[in-house]
Structure 1
Amino acid sequence: MHSRILEQLAALEETNAVKILFACESGSRGWGFASTDSDFDVRFVYARPASTYLSIKEYRDVIELPVDEVLDINGWDIKKALKLFYKSNAPFYEWLQSPILYKETTDLRQTLLSLMDHYYSPRAACHHYLSMAHNTWTNDLQGEQVKLKKYFYVLRPLLACDWIAMGKGVAPMEFKDLRTTIEDNKVQKAIDELLIVKMKADEKSVWHADPRLMDWIGEKISTLRAQSAEFQDRPPIAIDSLDAVLQKYVNV
């Protein structure tokens, strides 16, 4: 599959006359709880020729391929990516931390990793993660039988928000790191059991409502909603460093 992904990325570069600066895994494979039939969520950042950034012509800032059962590939123009980085966009901060890299032709990712703490907004990130967790909890985990993967779609963002609320900084992408904040051994055991099943199951598998997790999730959401309401906005930060990044990498 790695070879197929590289072929697709090379074709995108040629077809769109762009250079991919880095490409990574952004989904369950990167989070660390893929099912047997999980697709590959490939995300990338690209740069167009430098002259196009000086043109009055409007260019699309997203490149995407039609999604199939195996591959989901799309990427952002570097200018779009840097704007979202400035806004502390949580998904993009995860891309930068992904343990699975498919392609890396520059040190853009390392450059942004070094700037991440400076531009990070705990308030924006926590609100993003808490909204994800609450919506999935409300819409997908209220029955006696629920989709197995939905447990993790609540647990991961909830733990990311908890990480931030504890003052630990940028939330890591990988689930194994996030779950280190859980002190309740019963919850840890329930997650261990769930992970074993998840790794052997497919994306459509269902599981019973586990009271150990359901009670903990409900209480944690309530606690974090109260805590996140106290977060202050990040003060304005100069964009000079990101302008310099843009100017450097559109000339690669």
Structure 2
Amino acid sequence: MQEEAVLSAHPVSDGMRATVCEHLAALERRHQVKVLFACESGSRGWGFASPDSDYDVRFVYVHRLPWYLAVEPGRDVIEQPIRSDLDINGWELRKTLQLLRASNPTLLEWLRSPIVYRQEAPWAQRLRALAEDGFSPVRGYHHYVSMARKNLREHLYGDVVRYKKYLYVLRPLLAARWIREGRGVPPMRFAALAGATLTDPAVRAEVNALLEVKMRAGEAATSPRWAGIHAFIEAELAAATAHAPGPGPQADGRLLDQYLHDAVLHFDPPARPAGGGP
């Protein structure tokens, strides 16, 4: 019998893509930076957005050379006030590489987002390769288990629960299982994650029922507890807490330094002296 596919949707219209790209171009002009990579990071990227979900746009950018030569470090994030349903902010490249060295799970999710608004292809590919090579299972594992435990404690013990809060516990728990099973960096798409790790047909069916309702309801919609899902979460968290992953590799700092050096000089090469040779 064929397993039931896990539901997924990544709704971004052509018009919204164009709007996002216009905002990114305006930010480049205003801040004198180059956007290397921009993606969707929230529920639309995970694949279970509600009709009224925000657009969570995240990007990585590089400054011009003089910014990196100042004695005092400059601000390393660009944040836009949230307008309507559009939330845009980004990380400067050196900050990004520091987080990559620490195997930051949020950054790894950005780089695996199924919704990419813009990218400088060779530079984004190289950044993904550095992230994959330096992935730390132990850091990723503890991040996801801690996130699941916190969201469970804060949101799932009432008699009435918001639909999306179940997914905010399920997703990190299944990411932890993915790492525990030795699969490497977890995918961002919830359907890919759940499709590979949810082996109980009854749990999979109940998760699909939850997804179907959640993707039709508003972000604030609630329901009584889903007994099967709640029992699975409790058991899965107990299993996750009892496991201790190995340390795994660490990103090579020399390669990260080289990437920063190459990117800065590529996007803002020093001017040649007047009358100089080739």
Is the Cα–Cα contact under 8 Å of residues 100 and 251 in structure 2 kept in the other structure? no
Q: Give 1:115 shift.
A: 2.4
- Whole-angstrom CA distance in 2 between matches of 1:169 and 1:21: 25
- Aligned with 1:18 (options 28, 33, 48): 33
AA in 2 matched with 1:129: Y
CA RMSD of aligned residues (A): 1.3
SS at match of 1:21: strand
SS at match of 1:107: helix
Is 2:159 the counterpart of 1:144?
yes
- Whole-angstrom CA distance in 1 between matches of 2:123 and 2:202: 41
What is the aligned partner in structure 2 of residue 188 from structure 1?
A: 204
- Structure with the greater alpha carbon radius of gyration: 2
Is 2:202 the counterpart of 1:221?
no
- Whole-angstrom CA distance in 2 between matches of 1:190 and 1:88: 33
AA in 2 matched with 1:67: I
- Whole-angstrom CA distance in 2 between matches of 1:98 and 1:248: 24
- Whole-angstrom CA distance in 1 between matches of 2:242 and 2:51: 37
Is 2:56 the counterpart of 1:41?
yes
- Whole-angstrom CA distance in 1 between matches of 2:235 and 2:201: 16
TM-score, length basis structure 2 = 0.87
Q: Give 1:106 shift.
A: 4.2
AA in 2 matched with 1:215: A
TM-score, length basis structure 1 = 0.96
Q: Give 1:6 shift.
A: 1.2
Q: Give 1:238 shift.
A: 3.2
Is 2:215 the counterpart of 1:199?
yes
Identify unmatched segments of 5+ residues in structure 1.
none
Is 2:88 the counterpart of 1:73?
yes
The alignment of Structure 1 onto Structure 2 pairs a total of residues equal to 250
Distance 1:236 1:174, change over 3 A: closer
Question: 1:78-109: per-residue Cα shift (whole Å, max 9, x none)?
Answer: 00001101100001001101111111134222
Distance 1:236 1:210, change over 3 A: closer
AA in 1 matched with 2:253: I
Distance 1:235 1:116, change over 3 A: closer
Q: Give 1:2 shift.
A: 1.4
Question: 1:167-189: per-residue Cα shift (whole Å, max 9, x none)?
Answer: 11111111011112111111000
What percentage of aligned pairs have identical amino acids? 44
- Whole-angstrom CA distance in 2 between matches of 1:128 and 1:73: 24
Alignment of 1:1-252 (within 5 A): 1-179=16-194, 180-227=196-243, 230-234=244-248, 238-251=252-265, 252=267
Worse overlay, 135-144 or 106-115: 106-115
Q: Please list every run of at least 4 consecutive aligned residues from structure 1 whose deviation after the TM superposition is greater than 6 angstroms.
A: none
AA in 2 matched with 1:66: P
AA in 1 matched with 2:65: A
